[in-house]
Every structure is written in structure tokens, then in C-alpha cells.
Amino acid sequence: MVSSVATEPDRQPEGGTEPLVRIDGLSVEFATPRGAIHALRDITLDVPRGKVLGLVGESGCGKSTLAYSLIGLLAENARVAGGRIDMDGQNLAQLKPKEWRALRGKRISMIFQDPMTSLNPVTTIGQQMMDIQYREKVGRAEMRARAVEFLEQVQLPDAASKLDAYPHQLSGGMRQRVCIAMALLTRPDLLIADEPTTALDATLEMQIVTLLRELQEKFGCSVLFVSHHLGTVAELCDEVAVMYAGEVVERGDVAQVFRDPCHPYTQALFECDPARIREATRRLPTIPGTLPDLRRPPAGCAFRARCPKAFERCMTDHPPLYDAGGGQAARCHLNDPAEDRA
């Protein structure tokens, strides 16, 4: 792992602008009675300013852990074991609880997976939307007006009347719109969306994704969009990072990665996407095997046990992120220029 740092390619080209968040060598561990789980290992990734970065991977790959570490809401048994998260000169990896609290709901906001349980069930929508404006030095009437304004932004029908409703009186799609309105209301620089459409049905999913895209363009914030649904990532994101077993295995421009995936895991992921299946089949394609035990991450490539293209070097050598050109990079020895020569 350590040897890989030296060969890291330069960061994705940003068209001149500095990224909003630079994650550099971030490692997160979970303490368990049977030893530490190395949930994130040496993550190096930029969240571009004013763009949408997608984070994809199968369950347990660490994508949610990465999202939560960007808002300081990791579980109690988790700790940042190394690395930095830089946002405008502040290292988020070292923040104290009080400093985190100052950032949350101000510079960083989050939309959660399940809208059915994310809102306080015993408080009205309006009160919750006013509560999150507690830092503003404005009167109740103005807070209320702002709440209505943002409920209209998320195209909630009859927005003003929804202020006095309780969450259980709204449908799942409406609740997720409320959650998006709340997240945008705080005018964050970084909006983290942790699988915001997973709990919704397919038609609602597309509506929410379209809405997120429109609002992101309107407000110009950076979005970290966590999903395991490749279709929504293609629809919504500018850039994508593919995660496997606590590592970023491939990253780059969405169109480029989707057109020409360089890592065997990304390729396998695309082959398993039900949306790509053209012919009727009795069995959906899967990637054989399971995630490695993250208590003892394997020495070589984390994916080699499931990789159809694995060769000797993958057993011993941990691959760095090789530059694949055009800002695309993949953590696979097949992308090592030295392998081509061999």
C-alpha cells in the first residue's frame, strides 16, 4: 500500500479550478471484538467544485463509510486511522466534535437513504425546516417563508400547506423531496446523498434524480452521490469513483469510465447491470466470489480472487492507481505501462 503512493498519477484535471474536497490517503477502521475492520484503505479522491461525483460499488465496499466520514458521522466504533480530508484549508479528518457541528448543516449537508425514517416523526415538516435554520438571525416568519420557497424548489405540490403536516402524512417520494429541500435550504458547498433513491420505486427514482440534477445546476454546489445503481450514476454524475473492498479501484469522467472501463471489477459491474441485458435470460449475471475479509485485507490486489484476468503479480503486488489517460485511473496492473512492454 505504501509503495503505491509514489506512483499515484496526478489528480484529475479540473479545468483549472481547485477541487472542493481533497481526500488524501484516508483510512478508516472499525473496532470490533474480533479485530479491526479496515473499512477504508488509502482513499485518495477529489470532490470537484460545483460538480457531481458518483460513488459506486457493491454493499460493504465502503462507499457509505466514505460518505459519512465526509460529514463526521461515522459510527462510535470507527476511527480515522490515517490520511487527510482537506476542504478549503481545513483538515476534516482532525476535527473536534464542536468544529464538525459548525460545518454540518452549513457547509456540508446530507440526504439519507430512507426518507420514511429520516424525518422526526413527532415534529411538523415546517418546524423541522425552521429548526435547521437556527443559526440564522431572522424571525420565524422569514424562516417559514424560506421553508416554503425551498419546498417549491423541490416541486412539492401545495408547498405552504405541507408545513403543518407531520412526516407520516406524506408519501415516501414527498418525504425525500422534503429532505432534499432541507439539505438545499442550508445552501451547502457539499451535498452528500447516500443512496437517496434506493428506498423509492423506479418511477420516483428517476424523478428524484432529475430533480437533483436540476437543483445542483441551479445552486452550483458539489454533490457526492452514493449509489449502487449504475443508471442513476450515468444520468446524474460528472465524475465517478468505483469502490471495491474499501479502496477506490477506478475513477474518472463518467462518460469515459462507462464507455471504456479499465478495471476488471468495473467491467464486471457493468456486465452485471440488469439494464444492459438485451436478451431474455433465466439467470442474471453475477460476479462469482465474495468480498475479502477486511479484518485481514489481502496482500496483493483486493479483487484478484474474483478477477478473470488475474496473473502472478496480482498475488503479491498491491496495485497503485495507474493513470489511464484523460483523468481516468484504475487500480489494476493491466494498466501499468510496464505490463504492456512485457
Partner 1 sequence: MLLYASQRLVLSVVIVMVAVSILTLMLHVVPGDPAVMILGPRATPELIEQTREAMGLDKPLPVQIVTFFGNILRGDLGQDVFTGREVSQIVFEQLPYTLILISVSILWAAVLGIALGCYSALRRNTWLDTLTGVLSVGTISIPAFVMALYSVLVFAVWLQWLPAIGAGEGFWDRVTHLILPSFAIGVSWVGYVSRIVRASMLEVMGQPHVRMARAYGLPDRWITRSHILKIAVQPAVTLIGTGVAHLFSAAVFVEVIFARPGIGALIVQAVNERNYPIVLGAVLVTTGIIVLATLISDLVIAWLDPRQREDM
Question: Where does this chain bind partner 1 (CB under 8 A)?
Answer: 71, 73, 100-106, 109-110, 112-114, 117-123, 131-132, 134-135, 166, 168, 179, 182, 186
Q: CB of residue 233 vs partner 1: minimum separation in angstroms? A: 22
Nearest to 263 by CA among 298, 227, 307, 230: 307
For the bound state, the minimum distance from the C-beta of residue 18 to partner 1, rounded and expressed in Å, comes to: 25
| Least Å from the CB of residue 274 to partner 1 | 28
DSSP string of 255-307?
HHHHHS--SHHHHHHHHH-GGG--S--SS-----S-PPPTTS--SS-TTGGG-
Alpha-carbon dihedral sign for residues 152, 153, 157, 161: negative
Nearer to partner 1, 198 or 256 (CB): 198
Q: Measured from the CB atom, is 171 or 316 closer to partner 1?
A: 171
Closest approach of partner 1 to the CB of residue 283, in Å: 35
Beta carbon nearer to partner 1, 79 or 313:
79
CB 166 within 8 A of CB 192: no
**Smallest distance from partner 1 to CB 105, Å:** 3
Shortest reach from residue 228's CB to partner 1, in Å: 19
SS3 325: strand
- DSSP character at residue 167: G
- Minimum CB separation from partner 1 for residue 149, in Å? 18
- Across 3-51, where does the E strand assignment appear? 21-30, 37-47
Residue number, 199 or 291, with CB nearest to partner 1? 199
User: How far apart, in whole angstroms, are the C-alpha atoms of residue 4 and residue 44?
Assistant: 11
- Residue 26 or 67 having the CB closest to partner 1: 67
**90 or 117: whose CB is closer to partner 1?**
117
Backbone φ and ψ of 190, nearest 5° = -125, 125
For 122-129, the CB contacts below 8 A with 24+ separation are 122/166, 123/166, 124/163, 124/164, 124/165, 124/166, 125/151, 125/162, 125/163, 125/164, 125/165, 125/166, 125/167, 125/170, 125/178, 126/162, 126/163, 126/164, 128/182, 129/163, 129/178, 129/181, 129/182, 129/185
Cβ-based nearer residue to partner 1, 77 or 210: 77
- Nearer CB in complex with partner 1: 112/322: 112
Q: In the bound complex, what is the minimum distance in angstroms from residue 267's beta carbon to partner 1? A: 34
**DSSP, res 104:** B
